Amino acid sequence: MLKLFKTILKVGDTTVKYPFKPLEVSHGFRGKPQYDAEQCIACGACTMACPANALTMETDITQGTRQWQLFLGRCIFCGRCEEVCPTRAIVLSQEFELAVFNKADLYQRASFTLAHCQQCQKPFAPKKEVDYVMALLIHSGMSAEDVEQQRPHFETCPECKRKQNVGGNENISMNNSIIPNHHRDGGNPL
């Protein structure tokens, strides 16, 4: 018995002192997602990639806003949101203690303003996303003046762009196919 006590004293504690002492986690540990609304462009890539549906995004056309929401109670800490985020607005931390008294504390929310179409004035995309695309073009080498000239194109909704591309009835035949100019004039296609 005395020999056993000597061995125990020599080895020391084999358990950790958690929760009285912080528990160290290994490098690469996937914990609670940290969200930075300033970096987010509300593109929705994270919501599409989330297998647990912990991330949701709802667009309210009447208010002209897009609501982003993370429910930590559903999050499985897989890291897919971090992988697909183009701006690194969401990254996994090493925080794992998520116990709360109120379920509402497990929600993280952000609201984004939608850009309005210059043609029909309907909200169609997050303003931050449009600004991000324009900044990306400048970063890729386009001049700021050229990008700014393209602003009306970026601030036009897809429906109005389709209407502009069709142009008018002279480009569409009765069977809704595009008619090349040389066939309309009766010219030789070659």
For 10-23, the pLDDT digits (tens) are 877 767 777 788 88
Asked if the model's pLDDT at residue 145 lies above 70, the reply is: yes
Residue 108, token pair as written in the block: 């993280």
Residue extents of the structural domains in the chain: 28-166
Dihedral sign (CA 122, 123, 127, 131): negative
Asked if the model's pLDDT at residue 175 lies above 90, the reply is: no
CATH architecture observed for domain 28-166: 2-Layer Sandwich (3.30)
pLDDT of residue 49: 97
What is the separation, in whole angstroms, between the first and last Cα of the chain? Answer: 104
Q: Give yes or no for a contact between 90 and 82, defined as CB atoms under 8 angstroms apart.
A: yes
Helix (H, G, I), strand (E, B) or coil at 47: helix
Secondary structure element (H or E) that encloses residue 92, with its range: strand 90-92
Put simply, whether the predicted model's pTM sits higher than 0.85 gets the answer no
Overall average pLDDT of the 152-156 stretch: 91
pLDDT of residue 166: 73
Overall average pLDDT of the 52-77 stretch: 95
